[in-house]
Amino acid sequence: RLREMRDIVEIKKMYLSQYQRDGLFESEIEDIEKSLGISLPNDFKAIANFFSGGRVGIIEFFDFRRSNPLNIIDETIRLRNSVGLSHNFVLLSEENESIVLLDLVNQPSIIWCDSIEINKAITRVFENEPDYWNDFSDLFFDMLNEEI
């Protein structure tokens, strides 16, 4: 836990050297959790304190705030309704016929897979091997490094 928080402090320093702080209030983080019926991982919440979505590296993250029509709440609910996305997942991004998912149950918790294979995320048996990151902070760090 201490290592994780130290890493978040470093990630925050890197982010703020390139971008303005645009984080969520605690109530906005709670709105995501309540709206989706989930508990977000601590690293996601810590990063959401200074980042609320948008482009980092090669990923355009959905907005974490509902004020933007393309936000993680509405987009996750859209996929739950249209393709039966499990409540174990939060949709973070859609990129060029691929998706980035946050898995709230399994490790590694970030899956970047072909969008046509979204229903295989629960079993993790994919035709085309996806990219994985241990957690949101690892993905965010990699994208930030790419940007810098």
pLDDT the model gives residue 2? 45
82 backbone dihedrals φ, ψ, rounded to 5°: -85, -40
pLDDT the model gives residue 40? 97
Amino acid at 65: R
pLDDT grade, residue 119 (50/70/90)?
confident
Q: CB-side exposure of 4: number of CA atoms within 13 Å?
A: 12
